[in-house]
Amino acid sequence: MFIAFHQVIQWRYYAPLITVCFLLLNLAMGYIFVPDASTPELQYRDMGAAIALPLISGLCVFFLPLLGRKAQASIRESARLSGSSMRHANAYIDRIGRVPLRAFRLAIYAGTATAILYLGAAGLLYIEGYDALANLKRVPLLLQVVYFWIAVILVLVSLVRITKYLTRFATHDLRIELFHIEELMPLANAVLWNTVSISAALSLTPIFWLGRGMPKLDIPLIMLVMGVTLYMLFFPIFKVRQMVIRRKQLALERIRDAIKTASKSSDSTKRRLTDSVERLEEINNLVGVREEINRTREWPITVPVGIRVALVILVPPMSWVGASLVEWLVHQAVA
């Protein structure tokens, strides 16, 4: 059953189709409406959930297979550029291909439990003031909460595991030359896209808070997702940088030893260093290589990529500020 349903959500048109179906269902059920000055906070909350739940869950499910294929392509490209073992690269590609299926069972159990705990903590399993018919009417929305948490946990767990495989391949199985660190760029772009997907989902979270402030219960959840996002972004970058620094240090130590050896006078001839043109040329070449290694960049990202990283990090806070402004304008219009 898990395998069959996992194959369904991997279908290219599944996420857009199920998102549109959920939105139409919520519109038909009356969850989505045009608010006015008399609209209570409970209806605002249901409307925000009716819009945000399908959009965010659909975005997560849509991105997951695309990001998996992009990670596989980045490993293949980096291995080709660096001349690394394609056998090892294909092993990592196979592991990444199995990640979503392995995470799917965990996502179903953890997502269902998280949804029930969240609804219970927020007092949404039974709302005072709603009659039995109203509570029954909210069942489709409650089921979408379960689907939402399954999708979010699935994409988070999958991307964390994919990020670990990308990092392990870059630091253990990728042949990286100090003067050709651009071979890491496909992997860096894959990591960046993983972060973009989560940032895009985070930027939609203010829809949940239409007509009201951010609930205190949502704050730790948002912080947790942002923490996972920063982990996926910075963990590979720092791990690769540490590896590059170690290789630079080893190369500089070898060059320093070679310079010391070339600088020593021969005991038999007692000739001065300046008397040997060959030794001077050798030392000069070693010094040049040492300076070149010192100038080699240690970060596996370029300035344009760094700018994109900064923008990705700023997207959710900027969207929250924009949502607050839009909410204020809406309140002014319906007041």
Report, as ranges of residue numbers, the positions in the chain whose pLDDT lies below 50. Answer: 267-270
pLDDT at 144: 92
**Distance between CA 53 and CA 90 in Å, rounded?**
36
31 within 8 A of 47, measured Cβ to Cβ: yes
Q: What is the pLDDT of residue 329?
A: 61
Q: What are phi and psi of 36, to 5 degrees?
A: -135, -170
* Distance from chain centroid for Cα 320: 19
Complete DSSP assignment for 86-123 = HHHHHHHHHHHHHHHHHHHHHHHHHHHHHHHHHHHHTT
Report whether 193 contacts 217 (CB < 8 A): no
Output the pLDDT for position 218.
Answer: 78
**What is the pLDDT at residue 268?**
46
- What tens digit of pLDDT does each residue of 1-47 get? 556 666 666 777 888 899 999 999 999 888 888 776 677 777 778 88
| Nearest alpha carbon to residue 78 among 160, 194, 197, 188 | 188
Residue ranges of domains in the chain: 2-240+303-334
Residue 179 CA: distances (Å) to CA of 75, 113, 122: 19, 50, 55
Report CA-CA distances (Å) from 15 to 37, 53, 105, 129: 35, 13, 19, 35
Cα–chain-centroid distance for residue 148?
Answer: 18
- Residue 81's nearest CA partner among 173, 176, 219 is 176
pLDDT digits (tens, 9 = 90+) for 268-297: 444 555 555 666 666 676 677 677 667 666
Specify the pLDDT at position 270.
Answer: 47
Query: What's phi and psi for 195, nearest 5 deg?
Result: -70, -35
